[in-house]
Amino acid sequence: DRWNAFTLFLEDGRVRLTNNAAERALRGIALGRKSWLFVGSERGGDRAAFMYSLIATARINDIAPQAWRADVRDKLPNTTASRVPDLLPWNWQTSQRQLAA
């Protein structure tokens, strides 16, 4: 029953032989799962989820999460509330390119 699905990668070069890339992408979530049991409270869990989504968003936008977080940590105290969206990962890369130009 599954032979056609199993041999699909032989007919279509876009189909991967393994799912290693997907497993690597989920590895961080699996490793952090036990750590998240000790966030302390529901509010702590909300904060952890918020930071995890920002870090994942930075990675999706090809930004080094540590560099982004360090830059935001330095800029945030002097940033007005109306300029905070400029520090989000999808806008941060654009602002860095403008500084380089």
User: In sequence order, which residues have a C-beta less than 8 Å from that of residue 85 and are 6 or more positions away?
Assistant: 91
**Confidence label for 94 from pLDDT (cuts 50, 70 and 90):** low
**pTM of structure:** 0.57
**Confidence label for 82 from pLDDT (cuts 50, 70 and 90):** very high
Q: How many domains does the chain have?
A: 1
Residue ranges in the chain assigned as alpha helix (H): 3-6, 8-11, 20-33, 42-60, 65-75, 89-100
Can you give the pLDDT at residue 99? Answer: 58
**Of 73, 77, 78, nearest to 92 (Cα)?**
73
**Quick one: what percent of the chain has pLDDT higher than 70?**
86
Domain boundaries, position 86 = 2-100
Selected residue with higher pLDDT from 33 and 78: 78
